[in-house]
Chain A
Amino acid sequence: MSDAILNQAYDVQRVREDFPILARSVHARKGKPGKPLVYLDSGASAQKPRQVIQAMTRFLEEDYSNIHRGVHFLSQTATDQFEAVRAKVARFLNAPNDRCIVFTRSSTEAINLVASSYGRTFLNEGDEVILSIMEHHANIVPWQLLQAEKKIVIKVVPCDEDGVLDMDAYRGLLSDRTKLVAITHCSNVLGTVTPAKTIAKLAHERGVPVLFDGSQAVVHGMVDVQDIDADFYVFTAHKLYGPTGLGVLYGKYDLLKKMPPYQGGGDMIESVTFEGTTFKAPPSRFEAGTPPITEVIGLGAAIDYVEALGRDAIAAHEHDLLQYATQQLSQVEGLRIVGTAPGKGPIISFALEGVHPHDVGTIVDQYGVAVRVGRHCAEPLAERFGVGPTVRASFGLYNTREEADALVQSLQAVKEFFGA
């Protein structure tokens, strides 16, 4: 299918009507109208469609109860709906079955779970974990905590000037000492999509399992964990147009089965006595305590929403926005885009010569344009490109070319302000 055909079918104005917040303005003051919101920060957190908001409201109003416990009507109803979303997430990732899907609080918690449960059990002093330079802090710090405890060694795969992962360096880092690879599937700063399938294949040749941080990747394209052959794959609901407070860990069942619990509590045990406790099988083993039930229902609605629009159609729309915005931004004098890897996701980080990103962010905000400024929780990467903090515009399924234009116009205002 060509982009043109897909884009004809993709009615972004109609899509925008599904997102109530996009109709608001910002910075309205005492009788003065505000500026229409131009939300270019979906990479930090995406806005929610009415379908998600209503699914959560409906669940709370009609079917809410705790799950996996009661014999009463509502508990069964709520449990059925909750578990149906687990099956839906499994289909969404093309996981072999829903027992491989663990609900967590966030991507961050999912990675911590693997570092803590798998890492503490199977990694020992001198063992190596391979990360990449473009990791979010969420995929760095859990391994550093493990490093402090178990004296493991962290190796880092670099990237080139475009932000492409250096696969030769990766091959060189893989060794008999490598015990785990944990790499992003799509950089939250550069937009780079990493060659997940090759990364996994090379690691598997040495019997090394691989974890992918898919927080950005699942939003912008198809993810097939069996095709990639991921051992662990994590993502978060709130970047996928769903609620906060909910993440997902996919794990191959054979791996999950041999991992000890991450946290102790209710819902994860078979029996408890003060002499000893036996634990349930995964995924329950890793879901101690009452989970975010309503949020899981919201994630189900978010998956339905993106699948109804069509994940290919969304990716094509976002690709068009990326190309258009890249082209327009490139014409701004003194603007340098950081991250130009082929096939990247719709994320554009940039520096504007002579103006600090914080000043850029404050000024474009006055024009209604919401962007992220700073180091985007990826401090080593900011150092790598020698730009320090940057401005990041990230596009979602509801953004338009006009919004890219609004960003460029507001940047012109920044330049006038600073005489840059």
Chain B
Amino acid sequence: MMDDLRELYQEVILDHGKHPRNFRHPDDANREAKGENPMCGDRFMVYLTLKDGVVDDVAFQGRGCAISTASASMMTELVHGKTAAEAEKLFHAFHELCTQDEPDIPEGVDDETMEKLMVMSGVRQFPVRVKCATLAWHAMNAALHGEASASSDQF
């Protein structure tokens, strides 16, 4: 039982939750989307700076629980420098990891990235928290597609 908790709240997650990376609003961001979880009021803005189809900068702001904040923070690190297509692929891979016992991972995600994505997969044991983990990822994906917002109602 407590093992599941340790799996969910790994040190790296607690660290990202407390000290989120890229927690800022870049001046040159050219895409942004809001991610909202109406159940708990968690709300993030995800900012992307797309240059020639590449995520040149990615950052976020807002408030949320340890899980949603850590996931947002780790998302920024993983997506940075990727092409829009690669970033979208990561979103799908992450979504699969958080929701499926036998995840169907898209091809072309390297091992190191997979390992980082896997950190959050403990959330599968806590179904009500999956929306926390995927919130910023949904917002990032919405921003990629030029949409203004993503609500966890629709996840």
Assembled-state Cα–Cα distance A68/B99 (Å): 50
Q: Is the CB of B2 within 8 A of A366?
A: yes
Assembled-state Cα–Cα distance A374/B132 (Å): 13
Cβ of B54 under 8 Å from chain A: no
Assembled-state Cα–Cα distance A375/B64 (Å): 13
Q: Is the CB of A358 within 8 A of B1?
A: no
Q: Is the CB of B1 within 8 A of A27?
A: yes
Assembled-state Cα–Cα distance A375/B37 (Å): 11
Assembled-state Cα–Cα distance A363/B7 (Å): 12
Cβ of B118 under 8 Å from chain A: no
* CB-defined contacts of A122 to chain B, threshold 8 Å: none
Interface residues of B in 17-71 (CB under 8 A from A): 18, 39-42, 63-67, 69
Q: A375-B40, A417-B9 are in contact. Are A359 and B1 (CB under 8 A)?
A: no
From A27, A32, A389, contact of B40 by CB (8 A) = A389
Q: Secondary structure at chain B's binding surface: helix, strand, loop or mixed? A: helix
Cβ of A159 under 8 Å from chain B: no
* CB-defined contacts of A362 to chain B, threshold 8 Å: 5, 8, 126, 128-129
Cβ of B77 under 8 Å from chain A: no
Q: Is the CB of A379 within 8 A of B66?
A: no
Chain B minimum-CB-distance residue to A418: B14
From A35, A359, A419, contact of B65 by CB (8 A) = A359
Total A residues in contact with B, Cβ cutoff 8 Å? 23
Q: Is the CB of B1 within 8 A of A29?
A: yes
* CB-defined contacts of B63 to chain A, threshold 8 Å: 388
Q: Is the CB of B41 within 8 A of A389?
A: yes
Cβ of B4 under 8 Å from chain A: yes
Chain B nearest CB from A230 CB (Å) reads 32
Chain A nearest CB from B127 CB (Å) reads 11
Cβ of A373 under 8 Å from chain B: yes
* CB-defined contacts of B65 to chain A, threshold 8 Å: 356-359
* CB-defined contacts of A358 to chain B, threshold 8 Å: 40, 42, 65, 67, 129, 132
Assembled-state Cα–Cα distance A356/B66 (Å): 7
Q: Is the CB of A366 within 8 A of B1?
A: yes
Chain B nearest CB from A183 CB (Å) reads 24
Cβ of A156 under 8 Å from chain B: no
Cβ of A248 under 8 Å from chain B: no
Chain B nearest CB from A342 CB (Å) reads 29
Cβ of A157 under 8 Å from chain B: no
* CB-defined contacts of A200 to chain B, threshold 8 Å: none
* CB-defined contacts of B128 to chain A, threshold 8 Å: 362
Interface residues of A in 319-364 (CB under 8 A from B): 355-359, 362-363
Q: Is the CB of B41 within 8 A of A382?
A: yes
Q: Is the CB of A366 within 8 A of B41?
A: no
Q: Is the CB of B40 within 8 A of A363?
A: no
Q: Is the CB of A357 within 8 A of B40?
A: yes
Assembled-state Cα–Cα distance A389/B38 (Å): 11
* CB-defined contacts of A356 to chain B, threshold 8 Å: 64-66, 69
Chain A nearest CB from B40 CB (Å) reads 5
From B1, B8, B39, contact of A374 by CB (8 A) = B39
Chain A minimum-CB-distance residue to B6: A417
Q: A355-B66, A356-B65, A358-B65 are in contact. Are A363 and B39 (CB under 8 A)?
A: no
Chain A nearest CB from B12 CB (Å) reads 14
Contact with B along A362-377 (1 / 0, CB 8 A): 1100100000011100
Interface residues of A in 186-231 (CB under 8 A from B): none
* CB-defined contacts of A374 to chain B, threshold 8 Å: 39-41
Interface residues of A in 366-420 (CB under 8 A from B): 366, 373-375, 379, 382, 388-389, 417-419
Chain B nearest CB from A2 CB (Å) reads 42
Assembled-state Cα–Cα distance A294/B128 (Å): 32
* CB-defined contacts of B41 to chain A, threshold 8 Å: 374-375, 379, 382, 388-389
* CB-defined contacts of B9 to chain A, threshold 8 Å: 359, 363, 417
Residue from B9, B39, B40, B42 with most neighbouring chain A CB atoms (10 Å) = B40
Assembled-state Cα–Cα distance A358/B8 (Å): 13
Assembled-state Cα–Cα distance A113/B155 (Å): 33
Assembled-state Cα–Cα distance A418/B39 (Å): 23
List 10 interface pairs A-B (beta carbons < 8 Å), by A numbering. A27-B1, A356-B66, A357-B65, A358-B40, A362-B8, A373-B40, A375-B40, A389-B42, A417-B14, A418-B66
Chain B residues at the A interface, C-beta cutoff of 8 Å: 1-2, 4-5, 8-9, 14, 18, 39-42, 63-67, 69, 126, 128-129, 132
Chain A residues at the B interface, C-beta cutoff of 8 Å: 27, 29, 32, 34-35, 355-359, 362-363, 366, 373-375, 379, 382, 388-389, 417-419
Please give me the 3 A-B residue pairs with the lowest Cβ-Cβ distance, nearest first.
A356-B65, A358-B65, A359-B66
